[in-house]
A and B are shown apart, each in its own frame.
Chain A
Amino acid sequence: MPAMQCNEFMDSIDLWLDGDRQPAAAAHLHSCAACQSLLADLETICSAATDLSDVDPPPRVWAAIRAQLEAEGLIARHDRWAWLPSFGTGWMRPAIAGALLAILAAGGFELGGWWRNNSIHNQWVNGNQAATAPIAADLGNFELHAVSALHEPNPAVNVAFKQNLEIVDNYIAECEKSVQDNPEDELSRDYLYGAYQQKADLLEQMSERGENQR
């Protein structure tokens, strides 16, 4: 049987990479430096490709999708406040419920008709952050609890939580700016509430993790 040539080896190199190693190909490889080099390069490429691990999209992607689905009527508009009472676990719930009541009382919020509240609307139109300041402040307090409750032995998880918090905070800042620039734009406000919800979800995950590690 004639020995395998370089072009034949190249034709079968993907089989080789998949683990199908024919004796003829092995014999050729043993005696051919060029094909050894080619194979080494392709193995390097395949190995480097597996290191390109999957990554999560930032929270704003889902917020944007949800807003669009709501705008198209594919899903019902969500209750912007539904997430607050469920936030937190066990020891944190009374504080959250109290905080929510305080927000509602102080801001005169009206569930389901929040944006029809003239004083809040005017605050946005006037370009100040008073409208969401109580939420931001309470989420800040919840963040302190969640971070201090996180007894995570894996430093990588701690780093990931902190990075995600930073990302969500940056997103909230972007959304707040967008709402201030366009106070009449309902979509911008939806994004902002989506951003707050993302932060609440993340803090909830952190506090749950903290509870589980106790």
Chain B
Amino acid sequence: MPEADVIRLAQRGDPSAFERLYRMHSRRVYSLCLRMVGNTAEAEDLTQEAFLQLFRKISSFRGESAFSTWLHRLSVNVVLMKLRKKRMPETSLEETTEPDEESGGPRRDFGTPDLQLSGSVDRVNLQRAIEQLPPGYKAIFVLHDVQGYEHNEIADIMGCSIGNSKSQLHKARMRLRELLHETLRDQAREQRQAVKSEAAGEG
């Protein structure tokens, strides 16, 4: 059955249509939540909240935008609200391109990283780094680089301009690079200390 028909049935309160819509979109929504909060229990709660809001408002859906875009906009808003309640650093989507306000430190785009990320970044490291991004950066990075949305779709979902989506993605990637280099440096330091401790133990 085409999605438009399922939506119409859901708008009339058909329980199986609700479930069908959930089955069609829950994987994407849950993954978005999971990547943004990095915690399965919270991701489940947020997925539940997003779908409840969706079903409560479904009668107002008029099809001006794609249903998936509407649902993702709603989901992103649910997650951002949650993250902001947790008092994580806030990021305006329309902020300027000043680099320091995100990292809170000096700009370190060139030269500073001393290790190559290639071959050293696994899913766990990346997920941890994503969790440390400010909410606005996180949402755009997850939507674009993890879930594969185009900038025009992200602009619809996030309610920002395409240029702003591009700029936020650039800054998110640069901040992730810094965070991952910090992780690598920490790991290298720990390894050196472990070697020293081992040598001291042998001596």
What residues make up the interface of A, taking CB atoms closer than 8 Å to B? Answer: 6, 10, 13-14, 34-35, 37-38, 40-46, 48-58, 60-62, 64-66, 68-69, 72, 74-76, 78
Contact = CB atoms under 8 A, between A and B. Distances in A.
B146 A65 contact: no
Contacts of B170: 13-14
Given A14-B170, A75-B18, A45 B55 contact: no
Residue among B56, B113, B146 with max Cβ neighbours from chain A (10 Å): B146
A60 B47 CA distance: 11
A42 B173 contact: yes
15 contacts: A10-B110, A37-B113, A41-B118, A42-B177, A44-B117, A44-B121, A45-B121, A46-B173, A49-B126, A65-B22, A65-B48, A69-B55, A72-B56, A75-B14, A76-B15
B116 A40 contact: yes
Nearest to A52: B146
Given A34-B110, A40-B118, A69-B55, A61 B127 contact: no
Contact of B117 (A41, A61, A75): A41
B55 A74 contact: yes
Contacts, number: 116
A78 B15 CA distance: 8
B44 A41 contact: no
Given A40-B118, A42-B177, A74-B13, A56 B30 contact: yes
A69 B47 CA distance: 14
Given A61-B48, A62-B26, A44 B110 contact: no
A54 B126 contact: no
Interface in B10-34: 13-15, 18-19, 22, 26-28, 30-31, 34
Interface string B130-152: 00000000000100011110000
B141 A49 contact: yes
B180 interface: yes
Interface in B162-186: 166, 169-170, 173, 176-177, 180-181
Given A45-B177, A54-B30, A65-B55, 19 more contacts: A37-B116, A41-B117, A41-B180, A43-B118, A48-B122, A48-B123, A50-B145, A55-B27, A55-B30, A55-B31, A57-B27, A61-B26, A61-B48, A62-B26, A68-B52, A69-B18, A72-B56, A75-B13, A75-B18
Nearest to B144: A49
B27 A41 contact: no
Contact of A38 (B28, B56, B109, B121): B109
B35 interface: yes
A69 B48 CA distance: 11
Residue among A13, A43, A52 with max Cβ neighbours from chain B (10 Å): A52
Nearest to A13: B170
Given A49-B141, A65-B52, A54 B31 contact: yes
Contacts of B55: 65, 69, 74
A58 B43 CA distance: 11
Contact of B145 (A6, A46, A62): A46
B18 A45 contact: no
Given A52-B35, A60-B44, A45 B117 contact: yes
